[in-house]
Amino acid sequence: MNFVGRCYRAHDPFWSFKPISGDGAAMRGGRFNRKGQPALYLALDSVTALIECSQGFSGRLSPITLCEYDVECENIADLRTTKDQKALSVDFADLDCAWLTIQLAGKTAPSQKIANDMAAAGYDGMLVPSFAPDAKKDSSNLILWNWGPKLPHKVEVYDPSGRLPKNQLSWD
């Protein structure tokens, strides 16, 4: 499927000069990417972006930068519903696995394998339910492993006033 719409991302203000980077995901790994593998995690609504950023770890929200993105990407796998998951031979339990525990044990999590399999099948990203604590049942994310400033995988941060810093020197 093609995805055209607005998405949101909440991230550490220190990295707000790179709002379209997948470097943080590559450094730490994530539910849908192994360490060393860039990925851009976007929420389909601003509340989900905030919930994803906090992940329920502290009950409090550290300072964040919330950005809105205009997205127009082709070849997106939709895994948000049971019907969609079955059509692509994906088990919900694999999406909802304890990925961090598995990754810390030095293994590839089932959810990371799903992303690898989707990429190998020609998909450039996928729509998935949010697995963050406190996420609503209909909360969803768009995970991209192929994106840039041009079609067919266009992602642009909405910053008409140029408020985002251009480099880390803004924090000195």
DSSP three-state, residue 127: strand
Q: What is the mean pLDDT of the chain?
A: 93
- What are the residue ranges spanned by the domains of the chain? 3-171
Cβ atoms within 10 Å of 124's Cβ, excluding its own: 18
b/e per residue 65-76 (b: at least 16 CB within 10 A):
bebbbebebbbb
For residue 57, how far is the Cα from the chain centroid?
18
When pLDDT is cut at 50, 70 and 90, the band that residue 57 belongs to is: low
User: Whole-model pTM?
Assistant: 0.94
